[in-house]
């Protein structure tokens, strides 16, 4: 059996491999360039960052949540069932929903 190969197929395969390597290295270098630009922008924004003074945050009064404990709320209880004397100084009213 005789082979009539002049190496053209070998040269063609080498050219295809070389093109693949060059294309891959180009894509890798452009993605690295974009990543380094993003890192530089992030570092520049961190260098310009100035945190708020701690005194300004501490000076703001905390926001109240819930009802005012100093306020007296008048609730009409009507003919609702109760326990204890009618003329008690404090009435505890429970609001509930049985669903």
Cα separation of 83 and 92, whole Å?
10
What global pTM score does this model have? Answer: 0.38
Cα separation of 99 and 94, whole Å?
16
Which tokens sit at 24? 């891959």
Tens digit of pLDDT at every position of the chain (99 positions): 456 567 788 888 899 999 999 999 999 999 998 999 999 888 888 887 777 666 655 667 777 788 888 888 888 878 888 888 888 888 888 878 777
Domain ranges of the chain: 8-57
Q: For residue 57, what pLDDT is reported?
A: 58
Q: In residues, how long is the chain?
A: 99
DSSP state of 72: P
Of the CA atoms within 13 Å of residue 24, those in its CB half-sphere come to 6
- Residue 47 phi/psi, 5-degree rounding, is -65, -30
């Amino acid at each position: 059996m005789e082979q009539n190969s002049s190496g053209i197929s070998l040269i063609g395969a080498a050219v295809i491999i070389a093109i693949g390597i060059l294309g891959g290295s180009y894509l890798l270098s452009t993605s690295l360039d974009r990543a380094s630009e993003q890192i530089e922008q992030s570092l520049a924004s961190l260098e310009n960052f100035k945190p708020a003074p701690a005194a300004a945050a501490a000076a703001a009064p905390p926001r109240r949540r819930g009802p005012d404990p100093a306020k007296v709320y008048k609730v009409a209880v009507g003919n609702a069932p109760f326990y204890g004397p009618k003329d008690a100084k404090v009435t505890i009213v429970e609001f509930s929903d049985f669903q």
